[in-house]
Structure 1
Amino acid sequence: MEDNNSPELSPLQIQRFIPFDELSENTIAELMPHFRAYRAEAKKMLFKRGTEDDECHFLLEGEVDLADDQFRITKIKGDDDENFLALDASHAIHRHAAITQVPCQLFAIRRQYLELITTWSELRQSYELDESESDWLEALLTSSLFNRVPPGNIQKLLSRFNEREVTLGEVIIREGEEGNECYVIKCGRAVVTRKTNNRSETLAALSNGNLFGEDALISNLPRNATITMSSDGVLMTLTKDDFDTLLKNPVLEYVSQSELEHLIEEGETGTVLLDVRTTQEAGVSAIPRAQCIPLGQLRSRLDELSKAFVYVVCGEGRAEAAAYILTEAGFQARVLKPVKA
């Protein structure tokens, strides 16, 4: 029988296990409300083979037998150095039955939350994101994007932000929906995903000071990704009107077709024409001399571009969103004005 008289649980106990070993004590302390600590008596079944479980269970103290479909037993002991993963958590439907051999102390967390935390931790390493509690405003204002924003606008911008508390697992932006706001993470972490061939593809990890949700505001197209919180936190929200006035308009620059020709022929810096329509659209009506990188792929393919060049972006309504992404990443970008009929 499970004892709902919850034992004390500390961040140090949780930090023994993957993926929490990659998180600081402060970060784990923020997650504490999402852990469920419990005790179980000896000879009790924690879960059955073949059953679906929306939680993942970690053994702190005691001994548990995991039995597979051939009744082969794997013993897990709380104090064993190899006890660093959740019990039988590789699939939502258990492949083993778990039976306590002595009184045990455990903790559990919802599988959805564990997957978000795991994904963020792995991406933080690959993107070399700083885990320290850096000041969100410093991170935001030292980005390449804000070098182009007038100081007066920054002051106005900070007064227009609204603070919003969010929780682990909360979906902030859903792919395909209309966008009316953008967000900056004041504190917390989030994961960016997109549906590809009916499968969810993880694109990025976000942390303090990261701005997101602006693409849909610039292009007036539906949201192109889903943003889900992988921790509790606080977001600063900005309306589309304030975003356009204080961020988008000062940052974007435009050139006409004749100005483009002058840039190509006379400009001191090399100029590249960038088509951000889909490959299918570009194939049907190719733009001479243009390199095609669809808008949806641009962020992941920035390493193919060089900051030594000026990029003039074409692609109808998507061109502004692409130019903004390039500027945000420190590239020189212009939007090609459409030719009037």
Structure 2
Amino acid sequence: MADTLEPSVAANLTPIGQLGPGALRALCERATVRTYPAGHTLFEKGSSDHITYFLLAGSLELKGHKDTVTLEASSADAKQPLSNSQPRQHTVSAVEEVQVTEIDNNLLNNCLLLSGLQTHSKVQAEGYEVHEIEVEQDLELGWVEELLDSPGFSDLPLVNLVHLFSSFESHPVKSGDVVIQQDDKNLDYYYIIRQGSCRVTRSRGGGNEDLVLANLKPGSTFGEDALISESARSATVTATSDGMLMRLSRKDFNMILVGQRVQWVDFSEVKQRVADGAQLLDTRFESEFKSGTLRGALNIPFYVLRLRMSQLNADQPYILFCNDARQSAAAAFLMRQEGLDVSVIRDGIQGRQNQA
């Protein structure tokens, strides 16, 4: 049987005790405390897992390559994570009945980052001034964890994350509110769902029912396509429940999230990359694709990319292109958020003409 970790106990552990109140509470709600009998093995030497262990009561035997030591819950060493290297450097077994807390590593890392984002941080990076930044929002773990675990954000440098969370604006919505309207040319914000849900639809005209492209939950993002491609909004986003959105201005979006993150390739590189296994992907409309494309290219028009992205091979590198690279750069941003390996032909098909 598992119990939850008490904040008063967690506050004495390292590095958990360094967490702010909100992050500490969130971690304790999801950490587990388990009791094991004498002789039980927590993990074997050489094994790997995704758990951080702390000894709370009793004693454990840590058997390494050359030595064996006993760890008592009352000792200072018990305040540290238990044999925390991966792969494990010890076989750890209970000498007597023990009580341990088990914390998922992703949860711990996200809580540490969340706590850090809620404090003053001195940051310095190219393009930023050195100054103090304070994240004012009360960042609850749920939507932040979804965001940080997504491929599009998991590799974002800490300096960008600090600027990201300090630049967010809260935007409450009611069920039925239209957040973004298809064909709107007001390219103002990029959105992340903090609480609630939204639906992404595209009008097919002629009295036909709207095409549902996606149903979004906390941690989901939208609005990036038009900001990157500098074109009218390609779909309508409607709140399907009361909730709270976090929004980022176009300027901050381009500075913090886009920047140098699009991987560009020149036409001179494409032939070799395709020979090495990359797949060309044309993000233009079907009519443009049929009128002429690059040999061997697949066609997924940008407006249905969210709907068809699940069909793509996660192990396949993709090279995206359109007429001028703006649309394909937006597509690359979306695909990177799903963990896909993507690059974009610089200047699109126009680039081939320019190099001819």
TM-score scaled by length of structure 1:
0.58
Q: CA 1:233–1:303 in structure 2 vs 1: closer, same or farther (change >3 Å)?
A: closer
Give the count of matched residue pairs: 206
Q: Deviations over 1:253-285 (max 9, x none)?
A: 1011122223233x4xx2001111111111112
Within 5 Å, give how 1:266-281 maps onto structure 2: 267=276, 270-281=277-288
Q: CA 1:189–1:303 in structure 2 vs 1: closer, same or farther (change >3 Å)?
A: closer
Match of 2:259, SS state, is helix
Within 5 Å, give how 1:155-194 maps onto structure 2: 155-178=162-185, 179-194=187-202
Q: Matches of 2:244 and 2:183 in 1, distance apart?
A: 24
Match of 2:203, SS state, is strand
What is the identity, as a one-letter code, of the residue corresponding to 1:245?
Answer: M
Question: Is residue 319 from structure 1 mapped to residue 324 from structure 2 by the alignment?
Answer: no
Contact 1:182 1:239 in 2 (8 A): yes
Shift, 1:184, TM fit: 0.8
Q: Which residue of 2 aligns with 1:234?
A: 244
Give the counterpart of 1:247 among 239, 257, 263: 257
Shift, 1:147, TM fit: 2.5
Q: CA 1:304–1:168 in structure 2 vs 1: closer, same or farther (change >3 Å)?
A: closer
Shift, 1:251, TM fit: 2.5
Question: Is residue 296 from structure 1 mapped to residue 303 from structure 2 by the alignment?
Answer: yes
Give the counterpart of 2:220 among 210, 230, 233: 210
Shift, 1:289, TM fit: 2.0
Q: Once superposed, what is the RMSD of the aligned Cα atoms?
A: 1.6
Question: Is residue 283 from structure 1 mapped to residue 290 from structure 2 by the alignment?
Answer: yes
**Displaced runs of 4 or more, over 2 A:** none
Q: Which residue of 2 aligns with 1:332?
A: 341
What is the identity, as a one-letter code, of the residue corresponding to 2:292?
Answer: S
Q: Deviations over 1:306-333 (max 9, x none)?
A: 1111101010221101111111111000
Q: Matches of 1:304 and 1:205 in 2, distance apart?
A: 17
Q: Matches of 1:335 and 1:318 in 2, distance apart?
A: 10
Shift, 1:165, TM fit: 1.5
Counting aligned pairs with the same residue, the percent is 33
Q: Matches of 2:191 and 2:312 in 1, distance apart?
A: 27
Q: Matches of 1:189 and 1:253 in 2, distance apart?
A: 31
Contact 1:148 1:250 in 2 (8 A): no
Q: Which residue of 1 aligns with 2:161?
A: 154
What is the identity, as a one-letter code, of the residue corresponding to 2:192?
Answer: V
Contact 2:198 2:241 in 1 (8 A): yes
Q: Matches of 1:322 and 1:288 in 2, distance apart?
A: 20
Q: Which residue of 2 aligns with 1:18?
A: none
Q: Deviations over 1:238-260 (max 9, x none)?
A: 01111111111243110111222
Q: Matches of 1:184 and 1:297 in 2, distance apart?
A: 20
Question: Is residue 136 from structure 1 mapped to residue 146 from structure 2 by the alignment?
Answer: no
Contact 1:189 1:206 in 2 (8 A): yes
Give the counterpart of 1:225 among 220, 235, 239: 235
Contact 2:182 2:236 in 1 (8 A): yes
Shift, 1:134, TM fit: 6.7
Match of 2:305, SS state, is helix
TM-score scaled by length of structure 2:
0.55
Q: Matches of 1:141 and 1:275 in 2, distance apart?
A: 29
Shift, 1:150, TM fit: 1.5
Contact 1:275 1:290 in 2 (8 A): yes
Contact 2:266 2:346 in 1 (8 A): yes
Q: Which moved more, 1:306-315 or 1:142-151?
A: 142-151
**Which runs of 5 or more residues in structure 1 are unaligned?**
1-132
Q: Deviations over 1:77-132 (max 9, x none)?
A: xxxxxxxxxxxxxxxxxxxxxxxxxxxxxxxxxxxxxxxxxxxxxxxxxxxxxxxx
Q: Matches of 1:153 and 1:282 in 2, distance apart?
A: 37
Q: Matches of 1:241 and 1:143 in 2, distance apart?
A: 22
Contact 1:148 1:251 in 2 (8 A): no
Q: Matches of 2:181 and 2:204 in 1, distance apart?
A: 14
Q: Matches of 2:141 and 2:203 in 1, distance apart?
A: 31
Contact 1:274 1:293 in 2 (8 A): yes
Q: Which residue of 2 aligns with 1:110?
A: none
Contact 1:182 1:237 in 2 (8 A): yes
